[in-house]
Each structure stands twice: as structure tokens, then as C-alpha cells.
Structure 1
Amino acid sequence: MSAVTDTDAMETAPVAGHDQSDPPTAARTRPFSAAASASLLVGGTLAVVWFWIPLALLVIGLSSIPSIIGFAVCGVIFIYLIRGVDFVERMRSEAVFGLGIGVPPRRLSHHTGFQGWAHQLWLDVSSGRFWKAFAHHYLRMLYDAFVTGLAFALLVFAFLAPAAAIAIGHSDPEAGLSFIPTPLAFVLAVVAVAAAVALVIFAPAVDAAIDRWLLPPSPTAALQHEVSALADAREGAVTSAQTERHRIERDLHDSVQPRLVSLAMTIGLAQTKLDSDLPAAKALISEAHDEAKNALLELRNVVRGIAPTILSDRGLDAALSSVVQRSVNSGVPTTLSVYLPRRLPDEVEACAYFVVAEALTNVSRHSGAANAAVTVRLDEVAHQLHVSVFDDGRGGARVVEDDGDNEATGLRGLDERVRAARGTFTVSSPATGPTIITAVLPCGS
């Protein structure tokens, strides 16, 4: 993947179809259920073994600081372990309690390769989200282990107390062992069983409270994420508008303007021939007429690149069909798969249209592909539009700063346009191909 991720950007993802903005409410909580009790008992039982594994990694890593390799290995394993634990805990909370807790924003590295991997590890381990996940996991484990152990001890007492009382009752009274009457032992056993059952039923309410306390994003983190997202969208909008102005200027200068100049010169020559050589003047006028039609066609292409009329009149499906047909006419067989049950906001449709149009233009000009495929799908649960353009030609496409390559400039412009719409843009293009360009655009509910 090229360097198309936002610089120190932060992204959020919903959990199990819930939007981050959904507030956890008491009405949606299910703390008293068989699933909640089972989750508590399983968590408490596993904690006996699992409790020591992440903690041991942390201690071994800290004690191995002088031997840098040992510290690095333990640190990487620990980070991945806590990231996995965080994911599992959120899935468990959603499945058991149905809280709909949003995922805190996560800062993403803007580097690529090994540097990006190492930088992402540092961003994770230095974030409050990471250590809140660690604290949440261990607090839940300690509490579940304590409640499970206490319930188990009460049940053991309930089974052993009557047996011990009966055995003591038959023992020698002079030995001083008859300290608990048998009837009282049975009463205490019933009370112990009732207490154990009550613990298993009502204790998960504290688990739900711990989830609500430590799993949601903090208001500060959410505000920082929103500010970062808006700043990045603004930067993308500004650079996208500037790139678009340069593109329009280049198209007018390179296509329409030369034809108009040629048209003017041809008409001028025809004027000089009207009196002296009428057949030559008629030929020049005919040539000027052809030049005018070509100039009009070039102007229509420029206008189509600014605001395609078919997109606003007939929607994204029809507009993409037109783009794909042009790609087919250029010699690249292209298939189109569209799932759009409803019209989308104008800015989303325009962004998706230009992603497909520019990507197919690059395919026809640079890839030498034998086939291409366009897939556009609306995810109505996550309220996102997924746009994908595939070709089986040469690879090596990437988003880079302006280096004079029209394809790179086009992809960079698409990246800026998608970022302006607060979406994500990725390019997968190994040197031998194939190339897959993907854009994910938020559509709102």
C-alpha cells in the first residue's frame, strides 16, 4: 500500500454495526442473562492461567531492556497480544451486554514498509487507548476470578458443611468437636448455595459497568479525532481544488486552445482566398467546420470532467455505465457491477464517479491490461460506499508527490479528493500486477 494514509490521522470503526456516536444506555444493557453469567464464569476460570501470560511478557520485556533484542521481541508480542485482547473484549462486551460501545480513535502511521510498521507499534503503545485496554482486561480478569472463586468456595462449603456436621455429630462429644449443630449446617449450606447463585446472576452488572467505564473513547480523544479528521478533510479539499484547477487549465491549454487557434487561422486563410480562389476558400471553410466540431467535442470532454450532466440527471449507475463504455471503446474490455439501492449525496456520487473515470483512464493509457472490472457497492449497515477498480495489466502504480508522471499525479488527485470527502483511498499494485484501486466513502445514514 502506498503512502495514502493520513498523516498522523485517526480513524474509528463501529463495533458490530453500531456507530461510534451511539451512546450506551441502560435500556440496551443485558447484565442479567445466562450469557452474562457464563461470560463471568468462563473469564474467571481462564484468568487462573491467562492472567500471568501478558504480565510475564511485560515483566520479561522490561527486565530485558539491556539486551535490546529480547526487549524488542517481548515488546512486539505484548503489543499484538493487547491489541488482540482489546478486539476480543469489545466483541465479548457487544455480544454479552449489547452496549454498542464505539471504538476509540486510533492514530495511523503515514510511513510505509518497515518504518511504517515500527512507527505504528510506537503509536499504539504510546496511546491512552492501548493502556486503557490493558487496564480493562486485567480489571475484568481480577473481578471475574474473585467472583468465580468466591462462588466456588461457597458451593464447596455448601456441600462439605452438612457432611462435616454429621461426621462431627457422630464423633466423641468429649473430644470437643461438636461445635456446629447439624440443622444449622444445613441452613448455612442453603444460604451458601443461594449466595453463590446470586453472585453468578448479579455480579455481571459490575462487568458491564467496567466496560462502560474503560472501553468507550474519552471525550478528549473523540474531539481530537474529529478535529484531525476535519483538518485533513479541509487539506484534502484545498489540494483537490487546486489540482482540479490545474487539470482544467491544462486541458484547455492542451486541447481546446490549439484547436481554436487552428480554427481561427483556417478562417483567416479562407478570408484571403474568397476573392482570388473561391474553391480553395470553400475547402478551407469546410476544414474550419471540422475544426469547430472537434473543438466542440474537446470542450464537451472538459466540461464532462468538471461536472458530468449524466451524473446529476440519471445517477451514479448510469454515469458509470457511460465511463465503462468509453473504456470498452478504447480497447479494454471492462465489466461493471453496481449495487446502489438509493441515490447518494451529490458529493459522494461525484467522488465515486471521478475515482472510476480517472482509474479507467490510467488503465487504458498505462497498464496494457486485457481486462478490467469496476465494483461499486453500498454498505447500508456501515453507511459506506465501496468503490473498486481492478485491472490485470502492468503494476507499479502508486501515490507519490508530483514527479512529472501523469498517472501518479492522477492517483494523487484522487487521494486528495477522497480525503476531502473523509474517505480512505488505497492502491495495491505490485510490479507484476494486477492493480486494485479502492475507495471507501462515508455516505451518512
Structure 2
Amino acid sequence: MTAVTHADAATDRVPVSSHDHAGAAPPRPRTLGVAASASLLVGGAIASVWFWVPLGILVIAVSSIPSVIGFLLAGVVFIYLIRGVDHVERVRSEAVFGMGIPVPPRALSHYTGFQRWAHQLWLDLSSARFWKTVAHHYLRMAYDALVTGLAFALTVFAFLAPAAAIAIGHSDPEAGLSFLPTPLAWLLALVALAAAAALVAFAPTLDAMIDRWLLPPSSTAELQHQVTALADARQGAVTSAQTERHRIERDLHDSVQPRLVSLAMTIGLAQTKLDSDLPAAKALIAEAHDDAKNALVELRNVVRGIAPTILSDRGLDAALSSVVQRSANSGVPTTLSVHLPHRLPDEVEACAYFVVAEALTNVSRHSGASHAAVTVRLDESANQLHVSVFDDGRGGARIVGDDGDMDATGLRGLDERVRAARGTFSVSSPVTGPTIVTAVLPCGS
């Protein structure tokens, strides 16, 4: 596959929430129940040990400031640890409470290589999302540990108080417990058990409130993400239109125009021989007729690259079948898997069509693949179309940000087109292959 030139804006173009699509009612949280209580108790038990691990790493990082290497190593470990904590906390919250909390946008570095890795660490460390995760994690751990410890203490008291009263009463019947008679001890035990059960049953409500308070993105961050995403989509649309215009100009100049010039010259020669050499004139007219037919074929190819008729008439499935058939005829056997319960918006179908068509063109021209596979499926829960093109040929496609790489024009144009549709585009292509081109397209608001 060809190399890819891409200098993306430092914003994650993932939709804010996979649960927020048209007509979707907000999910009802499950703040009470066995799962919520179990989550609280397990969290409290784990907190007794885990509470000190991230905190200890942070203290080591701060105390190692004079030793730059120690500070950097501890800082990197702490950042990766909080990244993992953020993922685990969101999975836990969704599994236990089912509130569908949107994921805050994450700033992404636009650099490459080691510089990208280092810059990404700094972007994560300096983001509000990172420190909200830290605050959420420790607040939840402290709350869960407090509730679990209190429930455990009440349970222990419920079992020990009557036992102690009975034991002392049997050893000295006349003494008993002057401050805690046996009947009162049993009553307090029942109260303690009821209090522990009520605490474990209803305390997860505040746990869910903590999740709802600290896990979602702030309104400012979400607005900034939307503004950045719209600006990025606008830039992608402008660049995509300019790239498409240059492609049309090139196709017309390199294919159709020479055919028409040749056709005009041939007809001119035929006119000069009509009176003097009729057989030669007939031969030239026949040649001009062939040139006219070839020009029409090339003109149809140009038009098909702009707006394929089969796509608007018969839909994406039929259009992709045609593209796959052309790929197979070019020498690369290609399989197609399509799951589309219904027609999609025209702009989504057009974008998906051009992603597959251009990717398969690159496969036939550059990869030397023996097989390719196209997968298109609609994720109705997230209202997103997933498009993937796989080939088992040579790899080496990369996102390098080199504007001088003209071989990257095809995939770069696809990236711009997908960005204009507010989707995401990626290329996975190790040097030894295989290559996977992936696009995720939102299917409307």
C-alpha cells in the first residue's frame, strides 16, 4: 500500500457518547441492587490495599524531582496507571449502574515517533480529564472503604455483643453486664445488623452520584471538543474538495483530453482525403469512431469517480459488489461482507464507497496481495458505519505527515473525505503486512 501523509489536529474525533443517538431515551441508572452493593463492598476491600499504590507512586515521583530519571520514570508509571484506572472505572460504572456516561474528549498529539509518545503523556497529564479521574478514584475508594468498614464493624458488633453478654452472664450469673444486659445486647445486635444491611443496600446511591459528578466531561470541555471537531471537519471538507478538483482536472487532462485531440486530428485527416483517397478516408473515420468510443469509456470512468450511478440507484451493497468485481478482474481476489439493514444517508454511502474503491485501487497497484477482504457493517446501537479493507500483501503504509509524498495522495484524500464526514480513518500496515484500512462514519444525528 502507499504511504499516507497526515497531520491531524490534536483532538480525538470519537463521538462524545455512543449512547447519544437520535430518539434514544436516557438510560435509567441502577443505583440499588445486588450488583451495586457487591461493587461497593469489593471496592472497599480492594481500597484497603490499592489506596496506597497510586499515591505511593505519586509521592515517589514528587520526592524524586532532584533525580530527573527517577522522577520521569515514576511519572510515566503514574500516568499509565491512571489511564488504566480511568478505563476500569468507566467499565465498572457502566456494568453496575448502566448510566451511559459519555466519555470526555481526549487530546491527541499530532507528532510522530518518540516525540508523539512524550507529547501525549504531557497532554494527558495536563488535562482536566486526568485529574478528575484521580479525584474520582480516590473519592470513591475513600467512600467505599468507609462504608465497608462501618458495615463490617456493625456486623462484628451484632455477633459479639450478645455472645459477650451471654458468656459473662454464665460465668457469673449475678454479675452479668451491668452496662449491657443480655436482652438489650440482642436488641442492639438486631439494630446493628439492620443498619449494616441498610447501609450496604442504599450506600451505592451516593457511589453512583460520585460517578455522575466526576466521570462525565465538563460542559466547557465538551463544547470545545465540538468546536474543534467541526473546525476539523470543515478543514477536511475544504481539503477534500480541493483534492477532488485536482483529481478531476488530472483525469480529464491525462485521459479524455488526449483522446479528443486525437479524434479531432483523425477527423481532420479524413476530411483532406475524402476527395483524393476515399478508402484511406474511410479507414481514418473508422479510427476516429474507435477513438470516440474510447473517449466515452474514459469519460464514464471520470464521472463514475465523481458520482457513481449504481450507488444512488441500487445502494451501497450493489455499488461495493461492482467495485469488488473490478478488483477481482484486476488480479486480486476479493471477498465482500456487508451488513446493512437499511439505506444510509447519501453522504455516508458515498464516503464508504470511495474508501473501499480507493483502498482496493491501492491494493491492486501497490501491495502485490493475493487476497483482499472488504467488511462493511452498521452498528445500530452507536449509529455508526464501520468500513474495513484488508489485504495480505506488502505493508509499509504509514501516517508520517510528509506533504511531499505524492504516492500518499489516495489515502490522504480518503482521510480528508472521512474527516469531512466527522468520521475516523486509520491505517494499520506493518512492513511485513498485512494492511488494514479502517473508517468509522457517523450515520447522522
- Range into which the TM-score falls when normalised by the shorter chain: over 0.9
Q: Which amino acid aligns with 2:108?
A: L
Q: Which amino acid aligns with 1:18?
A: H
**8 Å contact from structure 2 (residues 233, 422) kept in 1:** yes
Q: Which amino acid aligns with 1:382?
A: A
The separation in 1 between residues aligned to 2:109 and 2:335, in whole angstroms, is 35
Q: CA deviation at 1:226?
A: 0.7
Deviates more, 1:224-233 or 1:377-386: 377-386
The 3-state SS of whatever aligns with 2:107 is strand
Check 1:183–1:334 CA distance in 2 against 1; reply closer, same or farther (3 A cut).
closer
Identify the residue that residue 64 of structure 1 maps to in structure 2.
64
Of the two structures, which has the highest relative contact order with CA contacts closer than 8 Å and spacing of 6 or more?
Answer: 2
**8 Å contact from structure 1 (residues 20, 103) kept in 2:** no
Deviates more, 1:83-92 or 1:1-10: 1-10
The separation in 2 between residues aligned to 1:21 and 1:270, in whole angstroms, is 64
Deviates more, 1:125-134 or 1:382-391: 382-391
Mark the runs of 5 or more structure 2 residues left unpaired by the alignment: none
The 3-state SS of whatever aligns with 1:393 is coil
Identify the residue that residue 10 of structure 1 maps to in structure 2.
12
The 3-state SS of whatever aligns with 1:106 is coil
**8 Å contact from structure 2 (residues 13, 424) kept in 1:** no
Structural mapping, 1:162-311, within 5 Å? 162-169=162-169, 178-311=178-311
**8 Å contact from structure 1 (residues 61, 75) kept in 2:** yes
Check 1:174–1:357 CA distance in 2 against 1; reply closer, same or farther (3 A cut).
closer
The separation in 2 between residues aligned to 1:140 and 1:156, in whole angstroms, is 24
Q: CA deviation at 1:249?
A: 0.5
**8 Å contact from structure 2 (residues 398, 429) kept in 1:** yes
Q: CA deviation at 1:4?
A: 4.4
Identify the residue that residue 441 of structure 1 maps to in structure 2.
441
Identity value in percent: 80
The separation in 2 between residues aligned to 1:2 and 1:77, in whole angstroms, is 32
> How many correspondences in the alignment?
442
Structural mapping, 1:255-404, within 5 Å? 255-399=255-399, 400-403=401-404
**8 Å contact from structure 1 (residues 395, 432) kept in 2:** yes
Deviates more, 1:219-228 or 1:106-115: 106-115
**8 Å contact from structure 1 (residues 393, 435) kept in 2:** yes
The separation in 2 between residues aligned to 1:322 and 1:21, in whole angstroms, is 32
**8 Å contact from structure 1 (residues 154, 192) kept in 2:** yes
Q: Which amino acid aligns with 2:9?
A: T
Deviates more, 1:77-86 or 1:107-116: 107-116
The separation in 2 between residues aligned to 1:99 and 1:300, in whole angstroms, is 52
- When the two chains are superposed, the root-mean-square deviation of aligned CA atoms in Å is 2.4
Check 1:294–1:64 CA distance in 2 against 1; reply closer, same or farther (3 A cut).
same
Check 1:75–1:13 CA distance in 2 against 1; reply closer, same or farther (3 A cut).
farther
The separation in 2 between residues aligned to 1:164 and 1:128, in whole angstroms, is 53
**8 Å contact from structure 1 (residues 331, 364) kept in 2:** yes
Check 1:283–1:441 CA distance in 2 against 1; reply closer, same or farther (3 A cut).
same
The 3-state SS of whatever aligns with 1:44 is helix
Q: Which amino acid aligns with 1:339?
A: H
Q: Which amino acid aligns with 2:93?
A: S
Q: CA deviation at 1:402?
A: 3.9
Check 1:413–1:340 CA distance in 2 against 1; reply closer, same or farther (3 A cut).
same
Mark the runs of 5 or more structure 1 residues left unpaired by the alignment: none
Q: Which amino acid aligns with 1:62?
A: V
Identify the residue that residue 20 of structure 2 maps to in structure 1.
19
Q: CA deviation at 1:387?
A: 1.4
**8 Å contact from structure 1 (residues 102, 217) kept in 2:** yes
Structural mapping, 1:134-145, within 5 Å? 134-145=134-145
Q: Which amino acid aligns with 2:381?
A: V
Q: Which amino acid aligns with 2:225?
A: H
The separation in 2 between residues aligned to 1:143 and 1:242, in whole angstroms, is 56
Q: Which amino acid aligns with 1:121?
A: L
Deviations 1:260-307 (A, max 9, x none): 111111111111111111111111111111111111111111000000
Identify the residue that residue 126 of structure 1 maps to in structure 2.
126
Check 1:110–1:262 CA distance in 2 against 1; reply closer, same or farther (3 A cut).
same
Deviations 1:157-177 (A, max 9, x none): 222222333455567799997
**8 Å contact from structure 2 (residues 21, 382) kept in 1:** no
**8 Å contact from structure 2 (residues 4, 411) kept in 1:** no
The separation in 2 between residues aligned to 1:433 and 1:395, in whole angstroms, is 4
